[in-house]
Each structure stands twice: as C-alpha cells, then as structure tokens.
Structure 1
Amino acid sequence: MRYGYSGLPPEGVTDEEFLDGLADEGYTAMELSFVHDFPWKKPRCTAFGKLAAERDISLSVHAPFFAMLTVDDEERSRKCVHAIEHSMKLSQAMGGTVTVVHPGHSRDRTSEEIFDLVRSRLDYLASKTTHLSQHLGLETSGTVAAFGSLGDIAVLANEYPFVYPVVDWAHVHAVSQGQMTSRESFEAVINFLYSEFPNFKTEHLHTHFSDNLFGPAGEIKHVPYGQGTLRATPLAETIASMNLDITVISESHHLDSHRAIFHELTEGIENAPATPAAATRPLSHLTLPDAVSVIKDGEAFVPIGVRQPLRLSNIDKPLIPSPGGQTYSKGDLIQYYASISPHLLPHLANRPLTMVRFPNGIDGDHFYEKRSPSHAPDWITTAVMGDGIEYITANDRATLMWLANMACIEMHPTLHRTTSEDADVALFDIDPQEGATWADLAEVAALIKLTLDNLGLRGYPKTSGSRGLHIHVPLGPGHSFERSRGFIGAVGGLLSKANPDGISIEFDKAKRKGKVYIDIGQNGPRRTTAGVYSVRPRPGAPVSTPLRWDEIGDVEPSRFTIETIWERIEQHGDLFAPAIRGGQDLTVAEEALGIGT
C-alpha cells in the first residue's frame, strides 16, 4: 500500500522540507490538488517530481473541481477540457501517471445524452494527450444524481484505453447510505471492479479516503476522521485479505485525520490474520521490477500474490542463451512478462493473440498456435473471430504468466480488436534485406516519417526485436484491411519509385536483395507480427522496443533485452502509449495519394 494525502505544500515551507516531512511520517504518495486554478507551472512540477522520486513518493494530480466532463455549454466545456488537458501535462512533468477528474452532473439528462456528451469530451482529450503516459482517473461520484457511478465509469473504461477508475470510498459510502462498514462490503466493491473493468486497469488501484456526513441525496460534507461512520480498518483488512496493490489518498482537510487514517490502515494490515508461512523461492534469478516469489506444490510452483489460480512448471528449464554463457530460464521469461505487464497489457487488451511456442528453448523446434488449447484455465479470456478460431486475449498479468509458462516466447497480437475485424493499425513492417544495413533502414524510416507528417498523420516506431522496424499508424473506426493495406502500399510504392535501388515492396526476395523491404502484406486480419515489448527468440532475449523518431539512426536494437529495457522505461515511460490513444482517419491521405480515384 502507498499512502498520502491530497493538497499542496503550505506557504513558507520549501518543497524539500515538505517532502521530507511526508517521508518522516511514512507517507509514500501525494496528490497535488489544483482545486480552483493552476498556481504551479511546469518547471516547479518537474523539480517537485524529481525531489519526490528521490524520496520514493509517488505523485498524482487532481484537476480543478470545475473541470468536469458533463458541461454542455460549449464555451465552459472548452475551459473544462483544457484544464483537464493541462492537469495531465503537469502530472506528466512531475512523473505522475494518474490525473483525477470529477466526471460531473446529470442535470435531468438521459443516460444516452450524458454518455454521448462525455464521449465527445474524452474523444477530444484522447486526440490532445496521445503523447502523454497518463491515466485519466474518473472519480466515483458522491451524490445519487451525479454522473460517475462505478457502472458509468466501467462503460467508459472499457471503451477508452486511458480511462481508469478512482474509487472514492467516502463517496461510495455516502451513495450506499453508509454500507461501507465491513470487510465484506469493501471486498464486494473490489470484486465489482475485477468483474467489470479490464483486468489490467485494476492491477493497481488508486483510491481516496476520508470521513463524511451524508443524507438521502449522498455526501453532504467531509468531517474530521471519527465524526462520521466510515472507518479504515475494514479497508485495511480487505487490502490484506485480497493482497491489493493500492494507493490510498486521504482527502480529509485535517492533518490529524491524515495521521489517524494512516495509523489505522497500517495497524489493520499488520494485524490481519497471517497466512501460514510456507517455503518460498524467487521465480527468477534476474533483478526485475515486481519480483514474484513462488511456493513449491508437488511438481508445480504457485506464484504468490497472483489473483487467479495459476500453477507453473519447470521454471528452471533453460530457454534462451544469455550473455556470459548462461541461459535465461522459463522462470526468467515468466518474470519478465509479469514485470512488463503494466506497460504491455494495454497494447494486448482485447486483441486476438497468436502464441509462438518454444517448448525446448530457441534451439529446439517451435510452432505457432492460434487456437486456445483445451487445457487453458477457464479464467483466461478468449474470443471467437470470423475464421471460427477461438483466440486467447491477454487481458491480465496472470494470462501473460500462463502464456510464458507455455514457453510462449513471442506474443503476436492482431492489428484489430475482438470487437471489430476492421484494422485499428496500419503497419509499416520494414526490414533490411541481405546487403542492406540498419543505417539504410533508418533512412527509409525518416522518409516514412516525412510522408506521414505531410499527410497529417502520426506514426509510432518500435524495433521488431530482430533486424527490422515496425511503424504503427493508429486508425479510427471504419478502416477495412483493404484500406490500410492500400494506404501502406501507396506510400511504399511512392518511396520505392523515388529510390528503386534502396527500397522495395516486391514479394520476390531476389528482387529486393540489398534493399530495405516494406512488407505491405502484413496488413491483414489474420496476419500478425511480434507485439511491442514481446521477447524475440534470439540469443540475449531482445525485446521489441518503442523508439523516438530522432534516435532511430543511433540505436543498436539488440541492446534492448529483458534485463536492460527497464532503465529506458524508467526514463521515458511507455513511448508506445500514444499509439493506442485516438485513431486517425485515412480519407484525406487517401485523396492525396490518389487511392480510389
């Protein structure tokens, strides 16, 4: 558990002194609450974020209270969404990942009218914040008539990759007329989150806590802790019993209340009934984030802290040669996918997945497996697509671990979601052929970037994890694969005509020797390539890694591995996050390229 409170440092106290005070209290989180406006500018946010990181204090931002999503007056609405956008930018500057927003009021409008209005605001924010690694946290409403129940938020979180839930326990308590008084009531809310939200959005929970008074319509006001009926002990018991990864932000207006809530939470967690001790061992010998321990159970190993009933086997089996003459084991592979899950899962969510399995390591035979095996656990989500195949969809950390336990080294998602067999990505899959170099590939990538810029489109590059480069162009609804393939073919054709000696779109390998090949055919409903952050079956365990455009010519793709990628993620976050935030329309580009005329 991380704990802190919402507010701003008081006047007369330096940021260093303030953060030292938080650390001395044992607090490990802080939510900067810009209640009415923005008294802080970006430079201070950046400096504050660095100081907080040095003290292991995670930061989030609460947007101004007026900045809601349900305002229908267009002028006021623009002010609201601009304030939310600015809040997200400030959160990014300080190294935070969550920007909290009050969804807004219903005001006698129908549910359909409210959702249409909110979706239009979220569409705008998606288009303006594609470059940010931010979660927009929709806070549960505190009154019965307001928009923003957990059910409302679940609908939006399932539609928008950047929308996450923020559970305000005081609001839930008020709307339920004081029902949050037992561990069972808190567990019921958590189980609702698990059942209704994408699983990767509930791996870590961001929550608010305070005491309050309420009436038939919901919350009336916050009060000092102890004057209302909401208590922290049942939440502490739930955190312990369900092994929650959770941040709790006190929204009380009193320092003594912050301390009292924190004391009750920590004491409740410490005093929760202990699970009988069992002999444990690390899953992996690697030093990776969120290290998993396992308990031996017969011939299997059971990971600790995994929500689903998962059993692992042969975790010490060697799979991939590593530097220094050692090998990466299956346990190392499982740990990597468990560690990378917060960044990987949003990209895999609700995409049919093809497994590339290496039961005896990369030096042995391998095979592609599209159909979900009959022995797959019943908690793994699947989807039957138009080809009649039931595909696995990797929507949670446990599924990634199960796939890795099946020696699935490579994970190949489709370029569409399960909800539609239209493309939501147009893919430039470019590879240097025999005789061509990475420098040649970088020149072609620069030409593609220039072309996309001239067409008013965004593209996001990543290493393939092997010798090539993938450039994702995110698409909005209504783009068939015929259209996406036609677009990639038109751009590739123009570039190959302009540089026939250096670029090829020819299927015949003999005709593309010494050139950089743009593989148009990868744009199809049944075609897949290694997804972002997928391990590749090569010595050293390289990883398909997002890149900045300005660094393509200077990188050595093989240096991004399951052991080395973490420093890059810590420095840049998920550079590929914008690729799943807001699709684009190809119509104008198609007209410019003469497609269909």
Structure 2
Amino acid sequence: MTTMKAKKYDKLLFGTAGVPISSPKPDTISGIRQVRTLGLDCMELEFVHGVRMSDKTAADVNETAKGNNISLSVHGPYYINLNAVEPEKLTASVERIYESARVGSLCSAQNIVFHPAFYLKDDKKTVYDRVFNLLKELRTRLDDEGIPAVLRPETTGKATQFGDLDELISMSAELDGVLPCFDFSHIHARDGKHNTYEEFSAIFEKIEKELGKDGLLSMHCHISGIEYTAKGERNHLFLDESDMNYRDLMKVFKEFGAAGTIICESPNIESDALLLKKTYEEI
C-alpha cells in the first residue's frame, strides 16, 4: 500500500469551476475543449449534486482532458457532513467522498475537493478528531484500492463550518494524502480579514512552515469575488464587483514561487479565470 502523494507543479494553472459559460454544449467533454480554446489550463468537475457520471463517460473525459492537456479536479457533493449525528448520514457522507474520488480518478482528476463538516453543537477539538479519523480510514481504503486521489477538504466560509485555515493545515500535516483546498474567498469571508498583501504573505509563510516547500508546489485553490456578512460568506460575485484583493494575492503567489491549480468560482467563471491569469502574468 502506497499513500497517494500530491503532484508537484512547475507553474500555476488557471481554470473554471465547471463547464465554461461559453461552451457550445453544457457537457463535460465540450467544456474541456472550450477551456483549451479559451487559453485556460484546468477545470473542476462539479459533482456538487451527486456523482452522476458513468465509468464509460469518465474514460472519455480522461481521454479528452489528456488530449487537450487540461488538468482536472473534482468538487464533491454539497451533502457532506463528517460530523453528522445520524450514523446513516455519516456513512453517506464518506461514500460521497469515496465515489467522487473513484470516478474522479477515472477522469484523471487527482484533487478531490469537499466541504468537510459542520460543528453543530460540538467543540472544535471533538469535530477535528472525528473528521481526522474518518479521513484516515477513507485514506487507507483509497490506498488499498489503488485510487490515486488526494483528498482536499476546503477552507470554509462560515464560522459554523469546520475547516478554518489552521485546522486544515494541521490535519494535512498529520495525514498523508490529505491537503487543503485553499479557498481564499472563503478565508476572507469567514472573518472579513485575510485580504491584504501582508495577510496573504502570512498565509503562504504558514503553508511553507507547516507543509514544507512541497505544500507550495502542490496547491489547489479557489478564488472568486465574495459577498459576506458578520456570519461569513453569502454568495459569489464577479471579482471586480467585490472587495477581493486578487491583485495582491496574485503577487504573493508569484513571490513565493507557488504552483498548482487555481479554479475560479465567480459567476462569470471563464472571464474572471482569464482575468486572474492575465493579472498573474503581468506581475
């Protein structure tokens, strides 16, 4: 049994959360081709309402992605809570992550993103331990079955949700084959901070300190404009219609020599993905 190691990249790839709006057809294969036509580099498969892709289609997606040199990732179903009270909901949550990883790997997607848990009425340490143990078991299962997926619990945008930056970096430092999905918009929306050059730099310093240089060379990130309140995120916005300081964030990516994939989740997914790429390249 060999634990899956995250791929190290030599540059930043930019792409869309799902099929681009401009795609001639709304299916995944057309979306991959459109990502390439747009001059982008990656796409996240949105399994958010369930994993509804056949193994045959996954094989076709794999072939299309490789033929167009597009890196794929997966966003697992929204209906996941690794701190659910009901045993059946807990089991279903684990299975949804497992199936996302299994089908995703058939598509050539390595990074499997999911929102991990809600605190409910439990203390942070209790929830951390529960999520840790479930992901450790799932990690063993994936390794035993030879499923080459990196589990990516996503930094969450509300204080009621498990998954702040410190929790996920700490968990990733302890568990092989588990790394954060750094959603910088969520990190900002969670407390209204983490949106300056200095704050972004501090995040990258923390990543390098806790996860090593490899942590900076295997990043998987979400970025969008974000509307938020004192309770956290509300919804995604266009980058230039929000206060998201993406220009300084791109500057910090470049200064730290970070590499990996950046997925844009703005409502105008490809326009803002291209804006991020252009901003980065002009620095």
Percent of aligned pairs with the same residue? 23
Contact residue 35 and residue 41 of structure 2 kept, 8 A: yes
User: Could you tell me which residue of structure 1 aligns to residue 90 of structure 2?
Assistant: 77
Contact residue 15 and residue 42 of structure 2 kept, 8 A: yes
**Alignment pair present for 1:42 and 2:55:** yes
Between the aligned partners of 1:17 and 1:91, the Cα distance in structure 2 is 17
User: Could you tell me which residue of structure 2 aligns to residue 158 of structure 1?
Assistant: 173
CA offsets 1:267-289 (integer angstroms, 9 cap, x no match): 333332xxxxxxxxxxxxxxxxx
Among 99, 119, 144, the residue aligned to 1:106: 119
Aligned pairs (5 A) from 1:490-505: none
CA offsets 1:67-113 (integer angstroms, 9 cap, x no match): 23222311011111001000000111011211001111111201232
Among 249, 258, 280, the residue aligned to 1:269: 280
CA offsets 1:152-184 (integer angstroms, 9 cap, x no match): 11221122111101100100111231441x332
Aligned pairs (5 A) from 1:204-283: 204-255=218-269, 258-263=270-275, 265-272=276-283
Q: Structure 1 residues 13, 75: CA separation in 2 closer, same or farther (over 3 Å shift)?
A: closer
CA offsets 1:261-318 (integer angstroms, 9 cap, x no match): 422x23333332xxxxxxxxxxxxxxxxxxxxxxxxxxxxxxxxxxxxxxxxxxxxxx
Q: Structure 1 residues 94, 109: CA separation in 2 closer, same or farther (over 3 Å shift)?
A: same
In structure 2, give the amino acid aligned to 1:2: L
In structure 2, give the amino acid aligned to 1:228: S
In structure 2, give the amino acid aligned to 1:26: G
Between the aligned partners of 1:17 and 1:261, the Cα distance in structure 2 is 18
User: Could you tell me which residue of structure 1 aligns to residue 207 of structure 2?
Assistant: 193
Compare the two structures and name the one with the higher helix fraction. Answer: 2
Between the aligned partners of 1:144 and 1:14, the Cα distance in structure 2 is 35
TM-score by length of 2: 0.88
1:16 shift after superposition: 4.7
Contact residue 225 and residue 261 of structure 1 kept, 8 A: no
Aligned pairs (5 A) from 1:12-23: 12-13=25-26, 15-23=28-36
User: Could you tell me which residue of structure 1 aligns to residue 3 of structure 2?
Assistant: none
The number of residue pairs the alignment matches comes to: 268
In structure 1, give the amino acid aligned to 2:17: S
Q: Structure 1 residues 74, 261: CA separation in 2 closer, same or farther (over 3 Å shift)?
A: same
Between the aligned partners of 1:261 and 1:95, the Cα distance in structure 2 is 21
User: Could you tell me which residue of structure 2 aligns to residue 31 of structure 1?
Assistant: 44
Contact residue 178 and residue 229 of structure 1 kept, 8 A: no
Between the aligned partners of 1:156 and 1:72, the Cα distance in structure 2 is 22
TM-score by length of 1: 0.43
User: Could you tell me which residue of structure 1 aligns to residue 5 of structure 2?
Assistant: none
In structure 1, give the amino acid aligned to 2:155: T
Q: Structure 1 residues 122, 14: CA separation in 2 closer, same or farther (over 3 Å shift)?
A: closer
Secondary structure, aligned partner of 2:236: strand
**Alignment pair present for 1:6 and 2:21:** no
1:34 shift after superposition: 0.8
Q: Structure 1 residues 201, 132: CA separation in 2 closer, same or farther (over 3 Å shift)?
A: farther
Between the aligned partners of 2:242 and 2:133, the Cα distance in structure 1 is 38
Secondary structure, aligned partner of 1:197: helix
Report which structure shows greater RCO (CA 8 Å, sep ≥6): 2
In structure 2, give the amino acid aligned to 1:218: G
1:132 shift after superposition: 1.4
**Alignment pair present for 1:149 and 2:164:** yes
User: Could you tell me which residue of structure 1 aligns to residue 4 of structure 2?
Assistant: none
User: Could you tell me which residue of structure 2 aligns to residue 63 of structure 1?
Assistant: 76
Larger Rg belongs to: 1
Contact residue 158 and residue 198 of structure 1 kept, 8 A: no
1:12 shift after superposition: 4.1
User: Could you tell me which residue of structure 2 aligns to residue 368 of structure 1?
Assistant: none
Aligned pairs (5 A) from 1:480-519: none
Structure 2: state its 5+ residue gaps: 1-11
Secondary structure, aligned partner of 2:109: coil
1:188 shift after superposition: 1.4
1:8 shift after superposition: 4.3
1:185 shift after superposition: 2.3
User: Could you tell me which residue of structure 1 aligns to residue 191 of structure 2?
Assistant: 176
Between the aligned partners of 2:104 and 2:223, the Cα distance in structure 1 is 21
Q: Structure 1 residues 224, 267: CA separation in 2 closer, same or farther (over 3 Å shift)?
A: closer
**Alignment pair present for 1:133 and 2:144:** no
